[in-house]
Amino acid sequence: MNRPLAIVVAAACCLAVALAGATTNAQTPSQDPRPTPMTTFPEGAGKDVAVRICSECHPITNVTKHRESRAGWGKILEKMLGEGAHIPDDDWDTLVAYLSVTLGTKVKINEATAAVIADTFDIEDDLAAAVVRYRSQKGPFKTWKDVAAVPGIDAKRVEEQKDNLIFSGGLRPAGPPIAVRSRGPVAPLRSGGRAVGAPGVR
């Protein structure tokens, strides 16, 4: 094949590949990894408070598109207050609890750092560090009641967030039994306590 003809054939092949790629891209719509926000508030204790307060300021989807920890929702509500939202003191804790439970983040409590635990339960850093120490000393948590047993933590707060806790992480499955290799017959002991033929211990 002469050189001009080879160039034409190569160009034709490149054009065909480009057209095929363009067709494939046109047939495959782009996928948004984010879930579609709910158009209604999910069921849960405090839903009526969320509907009353949050619906006054913006569309429901502006709220339901978020997934935040208890501390994270607290920061969002603080920002709303700064922008003029009216949240009565009596409704504050109910609203934060509702949003963090129904639109919260899942946490592998047996792998979580102290910072993550602090955000999950909205507690002080020192107490969150105590949760980690307790876990290290007592072993992985198996239920929310194990977490609630940590000295100083609010058991009601732990129970409130129990649906956001994942307990599978951090648990080590039992492995196969360890085979003990026989060392053969033990030499009889002399009166001095050292086995006949056994190497000396230095």
Residues 98 and 112 placed together within one structural domain of the fold: no
Q: Is residue 58 part of a domain?
A: yes
Residues 94 and 111 placed together within one structural domain of the fold: no
Residues 53 and 89 placed together within one structural domain of the fold: yes
What pLDDT does 6 receive? 46
Q: Is residue 87 part of a domain?
A: yes
**Structural domains counted in the chain:** 2
Give the CATH number for residue 51. 1.10.760
Number of alpha carbons in the 13 Å side-chain half-sphere of residue 97: 17
Q: Is residue 151 part of a domain?
A: yes
How far is 100 from 102, CA to CA, in rounded Å?
A: 6
Q: Is residue 193 part of a domain?
A: no
Residues 114 and 134 placed together within one structural domain of the fold: yes
Would you say how long the chain is, in residues? 202
Residues 86 and 119 placed together within one structural domain of the fold: no
Phi, psi torsion values for 107, nearest 5 degrees: -130, 130
Residues 122 and 152 placed together within one structural domain of the fold: yes
Residue 116 tokens read as 């993550």
Q: Is residue 140 part of a domain?
A: yes
Q: Is residue 3 part of a domain?
A: no
What pLDDT does 199 receive? 41
Residues 52 and 85 placed together within one structural domain of the fold: yes
Q: Is residue 19 part of a domain?
A: no
What pLDDT does 98 receive? 97
Query: DSSP secondary-structure letter at 113?
Result: -
How far is 44 from 97, CA to CA, in rounded Å?
A: 10
What pLDDT does 37 receive? 75
Mean pLDDT split into 10-residue runs, the chain, 202 residues:
48 45 43 66 95 87 94 95 92 97 96 98 98 97 98 97 89 46 47 42 42
What pLDDT does 35 receive? 60
What pLDDT does 55 receive? 85
Residues 81 and 125 placed together within one structural domain of the fold: no
How far is 167 from 108, CA to CA, in rounded Å?
A: 6
Q: Is residue 183 part of a domain?
A: no
Domain range enclosing 131: 107-166
Task: From 83, 98, 116, select the one nearest 51 (Cα to Cα).
Answer: 98
